[in-house]
C-alpha cells in the first residue's frame, strides 16, 4: 500500500514538473500583495494540443495508406489502430468544452494524454522543437 501511494505521489509530482516545463501553468509571487499566484496558460496548452492533433492526423493517414496494401490479417489490426487514433483526435477536438467547464480532473487527464502524444511524436522525430 505504501509503495502504491509513493508511486501515485511520484507520478503527480512528475506530471506537475512536466506541465510546468511545458508552460501549461506558472507559479509566482505577486509583488504588491505577496500572494502566491497560480495561472494556467491556456494558449500554451492549446498550442501543444494542436501539435498533438496534427501528429495524430498524420499518423492516421500513414496507417490508412499502409492498410490499403496490407494483407487481410493485418487489416484488422490497422483498423483497430485507426479507430483508436480517431477517438483520440475526437477527444482532443472536444477538449475545449472540457476546458470551459473547468473540470480539473478532466484537464489533467487530457494534459497527460497530450504529453504522451508529444513524447511519442518527439521519439519518432515528427514533432516541432
The model's pTM is 0.54
At 98 the pLDDT is: 56
Question: Which DSSP category does 129 fall into?
Answer: -
User: What is the C-alpha to C-alpha distance for residues 28 and 30, in angstroms, rounded to an integer?
Assistant: 7
CA dihedral 65, 70, 74, 79 (to 10 degrees): 30
Rounded mean pLDDT of 118-129?
69
Q: Where are the domains of the chain?
A: 2-123
| pLDDT tens digit sequence for 97-114 | 655 555 666 667 777 777
For residue 1, the SS3 value is coil
Termini Cα distance of the chain: 40
For residue 41, the SS3 value is coil
Neighbours of 2 (CB within 10 A): 6
29 or 126: which carries more pLDDT confidence? 29
Strand-pairing partners, residue 26, are 39
CB 24 within 8 A of CB 52: no
| pLDDT tens digit sequence for 20-52 | 787 777 777 777 777 767 677 777 777 888 888
Amino acid at each position: 500500500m505504501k509503495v502504491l501511494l509513493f508511486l501515485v505521489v511520484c507520478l503527480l509530482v512528475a506530471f506537475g514538473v512536466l506541465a510546468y516545463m511545458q508552460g501549461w501553468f506558472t507559479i509566482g509571487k505577486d509583488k504588491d500583495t505577496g500572494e502566491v499566484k497560480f495561472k494556467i496558460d491556456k494558449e500554451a496548452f492549446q498550442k501543444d494540443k494542436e501539435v498533438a492533433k496534427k501528429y495524430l492526423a498524420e499518423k492516421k493517414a500513414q496507417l490508412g495508406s499502409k492498410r490499403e496494401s496490407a494483407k487481410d490479417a493485418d487489416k484488422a489490426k490497422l483498423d483497430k489502430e485507426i479507430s483508436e487514433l480517431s477517438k483520440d483526435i475526437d477527444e482532443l477536438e472536444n477538449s475545449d468544452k472540457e476546458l470551459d467547464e473547468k473540470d480539473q480532473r478532466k484537464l489533467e487527464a487530457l494534459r497527460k494524454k497530450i504529453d504522451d502524444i508529444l513524447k511519442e511524436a518527439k521519439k519518432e522525430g515528427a514533432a516541432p522543437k
